[in-house]
């Protein structure tokens, strides 16, 4: 695992069940442990609240793991969010959560409740109105 660029970072962030694992075993362990990853740079308090709502809706959420939104991996979200002064996040999901139609629908329903909360909260904070003025401006 020494040669893998993200191995050390991952090992620091998770509790590995075995002291010695192959890269394949580590990858499988990480896949089992993760469900939804919320990546962000700015707007951290809102990101944490959003993650709480995702968790309340039955999703296992990790913040800025295994990658960090602070390391330019969410540049597309940042560019568009900053242009309109909106909170911007990326959500990574483990594909096993949407592997079948039933799982995909269930995941979509869980996500929809949290995203609706995020939209209401952003509107209450005046962020959506500011964005609309910028777009019309």
> Both 63 and 8 in a single domain?
no
User: Two tokens at 44?
Assistant: 């951290």
Please state, for a pLDDT cut of 70, what percent of the chain lies above it: 69
> Both 15 and 45 in a single domain?
no
Query: 30: part of which helix (H) or strand (E)?
Result: helix 23-33
Burial class (CB in 10 A: 0-12, 13-18, 19+), 20: exposed
Distance of CA 90 to the CA centre of its chain: 5
> Both 52 and 17 in a single domain?
no
18 vs 75, residue with greater confidence: 75
Q: Cα dist. 17→6, 21, 26, 89 in Å? A: 18, 9, 10, 31
Is this structure's pTM higher than 0.75? no
Q: What is the pLDDT of residue 5?
A: 57
> Both 21 and 44 in a single domain?
no
Span 82-129, pLDDT tens digits: 888 888 888 988 888 888 899 899 999 989 999 999 888 888 877 666
> Both 10 and 73 in a single domain?
no
Count of domains forming the chain: 2
69, 54 in Cβ contact below 8 A?
A: no
> Both 74 and 24 in a single domain?
no
pLDDT for residue 131 is more than 90: no
pLDDT for residue 7 is more than 60: no
pLDDT for residue 48 is more than 90: yes
> Both 99 and 67 in a single domain?
yes
CATH code of the domain containing 42: 3.40.630.40
The domain containing residue 111 runs over which residues?
A: 34-136
Contacts (Cβ under 8 Å, ≥6 apart) of 129: 123
Q: What is the pLDDT of residue 112?
A: 92
> Both 27 and 40 in a single domain?
no
> Both 26 and 41 in a single domain?
no
């Amino acid at each position: 695992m020494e040669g893998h660029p993200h191995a050390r970072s991952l090992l620091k962030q998770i509790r590995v069940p075995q002291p010695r694992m192959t890269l394949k075993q580590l990858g499988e362990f990480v896949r089992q442990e993760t469900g939804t990853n919320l990546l962000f740079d700015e707007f951290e308090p809102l990101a944490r609240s959003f993650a709480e709502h995702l968790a309340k809706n039955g999703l296992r959420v990790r913040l800025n793991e295994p990658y960090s939104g602070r390391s330019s991996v969410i540049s597309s979200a940042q560019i568009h969010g900053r242009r309109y002064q909106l909170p911007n996040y990326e959500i990574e999901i483990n594909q096993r959560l949407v592997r079948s139609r039933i799982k995909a629908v269930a995941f979509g329903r869980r996500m929809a409740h949290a995203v609706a909360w995020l939209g209401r909260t952003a509107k209450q904070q005046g962020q959506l109105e500011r964005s609309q003025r910028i777009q019309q401006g």
